[in-house]
Structure 1
């Protein structure tokens, strides 16, 4: 993992707020068949970092990155080898915990970024055999997992802070020179260890790489390592972190130059799924991947059950993490949650295993997964998070005839089903059998024939003079009717035969009709008429952007006004040229931007780690926090002329990058041209 990242409740609610109608048609690949069926797996982060339990010099915020984030010298960290003695480790218990939770596979760290190996490697002494424990964890787990029918994968870090030939060094390691280091020798070491893992432990189902983002690891290295894995075990599947190109914590590869079989969103769920792509969300139960004895901020079992349903409803897999204690036991909070999830899976597992993404763009009450039936029909699994007070569960915009509906918790009791306009309605009992997620199995004739609400196409949600909004649908033989006051359209409402022109703030609502009857739910959006932010009268400006450079350790953008810059001056653009280190630094860029004409402009920051962009007093782009290369954007109406601009950026560890772009009237999306930037310094 890139670093400790807090997954807050707000982010979870945002991820759960959208459900896309995802095409789950993927390229056939027999290697992936079992993985696509499994849907749910256990991630384990374990190693020397469990010994301090997240605490160092009175600070309690650390996890598996503790050697780097706490800046522990190598010689000091090596002492953990003598303290790592997990006498309570029991492979049977770990495998049983996964299976009883309904998990079909397990992925465990063979080596994390600290370089310590949980297996017996002949290429290093920095491994489990140098500890008092002296038992090969991988050997014991592989034997038990194989015997119990649990698929097994190896996490293996490309980054290695311990090996003398790995580059780059951490910038705080003043006592470790890079003189004599040879990265090609390190690559040979890495390949030797991967060979050990794929030849010494029987069949391995997954190679799960990480730590690929530093600039020494090139795409060609990733392709060669991917090929090595398949040469050694042709049936193994490999994640996309084997090579560069991962787009931040969204976890998907940006273009086709890179290798890997599936994407790896981290601590997040793609809002609308990922059509035709294999992907797996990996997520912590609390705020850390590795064991932190002070971290009690656990997601509830109910949250985790709903997260599982959300991910599977969008066509993904869920890899849920546990960070074992240094004595080899799972923390009680993790055990309790795995047990609760397992109880739910015993009743509702068929709504998870082997299912495909649901066909609905949005369901107000929950999520949907589906399976094709041998009869030619389809079983829709309706995951009900919010039990309807009137006991009527509406499944909107579906043309298929319903055949039968039952609760998974009471499969022998058929529920009453009827049609109401575009919806299938199911009458439910007064109380939900499971307040966390009650699943209704609805059988329908044929493959799902879904009529989603129409879609609005507009450049922005704000405008200055007027705006034309297109209302479109991929349905045939339907009419689109709309209203401008937020009311639900009827067949007598105006017909959208072309773009709808808006000249003042309006709430546009549209719905599909066929032969005068509604055949979709309504779609609604507000479009606001705004005044452009006035320009400044500024004199004495010259080309460039002012900068202030800072050094420190942050997880979010600092309050620059409370800091003293290390240096300051003027640059041509948003560059890092003045920095004195590769990590643990920040920049604030301040100046002015010349806007060519009145209009609505979109600004973008694409950064690793966090960034922001402000025009005048308005925060336009919030791309803050610890993450890989991630782009976010925002819009603002600006008058022609000079406007204040401020961009913030910070880098903790790993790769660093910042691109600030603009798009607007007469300007295609591009990095802000130098000729548009000014300073009064």
Structure 2
């Protein structure tokens, strides 16, 4: 299916990792899988998970102020604990926490995303088979695999029936605009029955967007925790934590600054991607103040530079400008991001065609510009005068370069 335009135009999403793991502030699911926390201790958090101060409308208002156009909530992580009152399986929080979230997002005009893990390390029928071709030297984990001689394909069918039942509830009740899958590495595409799963979801939501962990049915790539040096060719999304943890962890105060988040964001959208920025609410449903402050700081920058953000396409390839850039949909305006205050005119290389003017986005101040050099097919360098101190943004300044025609680039090496 063609990618939904809302996704590529959105630029920012908020990833919400919320579950029972927030009670003790331990790593979601992996902490028992890797025997860091005893399984019984991990699961005891279920009885202590209160959601006592959960206010999905406050979440949605915050996400909108951050400049996000969608959000993705962990409806069920690898630990198998559902955030809604599912009729399938034995593990859920005993109430429906998703309806309020979906309704609140839609009130703010945001698209609704739901994370769902293919794997479920707590389901009694999950560790009933193994991935074909799994190297024998890899150590089996009791929560996800069985030895080949103990495979039980009937149990696996029961697991898939449970999975399909939950997916019917999620797709039918909440009609998500996006389904964000995870845990795909545990089994093959055929074992997951990905094609049938996609058809099931699309029978409820024909235009639902899937991430690449939906394997052959995925719509976009999902790199994690580091902006790719060479951006993926098609649609993509960088998944990034505000501190070092996806979910709430008491000890983790290593929060990225607003400066850093602006840079991650500018680099991501400059490469044609979206930033999916993760927050980890406490078990009571409140978002830590340090994370909310950073979302609002990023949102302030986006508001000041919305023209260079929403609906734009990937900008100049590396080497043309020292920093990220985006391009207007009509390909006639380049938006150049400057992280630091230039001490002298800054250059843009390889532009074919003429420049009408260059202005500081926000203040509208026009900057002098001239082309120097150029020989045969190779164009000269466009030099733009540095903005005055009063025109500089505290995080990153954007220069709008209006072209006389659509952007054309010279990508050659010059005459030898």
TM over 0.5: yes
Deviation at 1:173, TM superposition (A): 6.3
Equivalent residue in structure 1 for 2:352, among 381, 399, 404: 399
Does 2:123 align with 1:171?
A: no
DSSP 3-state at the match of 1:440: strand
Structure 2, unpaired ranges of 5+: 130-139, 374-379
Matches within 5 A, 1:380-419: 380-390=334-344, 392-411=345-364, 413-419=365-371
Q: 1:173 to 1:35 in 2, by over 3 A?
A: closer
Does 2:158 align with 1:185?
A: yes
Deviation at 1:241, TM superposition (A): 0.6
Alignment coverage as a number of residue pairs: 395
When normalised by structure 2's length, the TM-score is: 0.89
CA distance in 2: counterparts of 1:450 and 1:217, whole angstroms: 41
DSSP 3-state at the match of 1:479: coil
Q: 1:414 to 1:99 in 2, by over 3 A?
A: same
DSSP 3-state at the match of 2:261: helix
- Asked whether the 8 Å contact 1:409–1:433 carries over to 2, the reply is no
Q: 1:220 to 1:80 in 2, by over 3 A?
A: closer
Select the structure that is richer in strand. 1
Measured against aligned partners, the alpha-carbon deviations of 1:631-674 in whole angstroms (never above 9, x if no partner) come to xxxxxxxxxxxxxxxxxxxxxxxxxxxxxxxxxxxxxxxxxxxx
Select the structure that is richer in helix. 2
Deviation at 1:398, TM superposition (A): 1.0
- Asked whether the 8 Å contact 1:63–1:288 carries over to 2, the reply is no
The higher relative CO (CA closer than 8 Å, separation ≥ 6) is in 2
Does 2:92 align with 1:127?
A: yes
Measured against aligned partners, the alpha-carbon deviations of 1:219-253 in whole angstroms (never above 9, x if no partner) come to 6612221222222210111111123xxxxxxxxxx
Question: Which residue is 2:229 aligned to?
Answer: 271
CA distance in 1: counterparts of 2:62 and 2:29, whole angstroms: 22
Deviation at 1:313, TM superposition (A): 0.9
DSSP 3-state at the match of 1:218: helix
When normalised by structure 1's length, the TM-score is: 0.55
Measured against aligned partners, the alpha-carbon deviations of 1:426-454 in whole angstroms (never above 9, x if no partner) come to 21233262242100111001121212353
Deviation at 1:89, TM superposition (A): 0.9
CA distance in 2: counterparts of 1:116 and 1:109, whole angstroms: 10
Deviation at 1:212, TM superposition (A): 0.8
Deviation at 1:72, TM superposition (A): 4.2
Q: Over aligned residue pairs, what C-alpha RMSD do you find?
A: 2.3
CA distance in 2: counterparts of 1:53 and 1:73, whole angstroms: 14
Deviation at 1:424, TM superposition (A): 1.6
Equivalent residue in structure 1 for 2:42, among 77, 81, 89: 77
Structure 1, unpaired ranges of 5+: 1-27, 55-61, 244-257, 455-477, 481-681
Question: Which residue is 1:103 aligned to?
Answer: 68
Equivalent residue in structure 1 for 2:18, among 41, 46, 49: 46
Whichever of the two has the greater Rg, that structure is 1
Matches within 5 A, 1:526-565: none
Q: 1:393 to 1:162 in 2, by over 3 A?
A: same
Measured against aligned partners, the alpha-carbon deviations of 1:386-409 in whole angstroms (never above 9, x if no partner) come to 32212x121112122111221112
CA distance in 1: counterparts of 2:10 and 2:115, whole angstroms: 18
CA distance in 2: counterparts of 1:425 and 1:76, whole angstroms: 62
DSSP 3-state at the match of 2:157: helix
